[in-house]
């Protein structure tokens, strides 16, 4: 029996390359591989062309991705650590502890 599924065209489901959790694209961090240079870029607006891979906005997933090269594998390209760190830094929730 076919499973009736509601599709939300605005928020397709993507999978985190590190922990494999599925989540709406809008909740994940996108990385895109530039089709020309094959450089992997952080894509905060999720608009860049080219192949994309996703991570949860979660420090554990960034660590895992760095350690296991999950994004490199997902994108079949070398992901510079700098790019990951930049994205992680920007997505970290500021913690204004007194």
User: Using the rule CB under 5 A, is 71 a contact of Zn ion?
Assistant: no
Smallest distance, Zn ion to C-beta of residue 96, A: 25
Smallest distance, Zn ion to C-beta of residue 56, A: 3
**Helix/strand/coil for 49:** coil
Rounded distance, CA 43 to CA 29, Å?
7
User: Using the rule CB under 5 A, is 66 a contact of Zn ion?
Assistant: no
Q: 61, 16 in Cβ contact below 8 A?
A: yes
Out of 56, 65, 74, 79, which residue is the one contacting Zn ion (CB under 5 A)? 56
CA 60 from chain centre, in angstroms, equals 13
Q: 42, 83 in Cβ contact below 8 A?
A: yes
Q: Which stretch binds Zn ion (CB under 5 A): 12-20, 37-45, 69-77, 78-86?
A: 12-20
Positions in the binding site for Zn ion (CB under 5 A): 16, 18-19, 21, 56, 61
């Amino acid at each position: 029996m076919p499973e009736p599924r509601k599709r939300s065209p605005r928020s397709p489901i993507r999978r985190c390359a590190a922990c494999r959790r599925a989540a709406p694209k809008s909740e994940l961090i996108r990385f895109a591989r530039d089709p020309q240079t094959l450089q992997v870029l952080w894509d905060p607006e999720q608009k860049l062309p080219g192949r994309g891979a996703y991570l949860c906005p979660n420090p554990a997933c960034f660590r895992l991705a760095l350690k296991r090269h999950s994004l490199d594998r997902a994108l079949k390209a070398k992901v510079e650590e700098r790019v990951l760190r930049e994205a992680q830094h920007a997505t970290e929730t500021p913690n204004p502890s007194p």
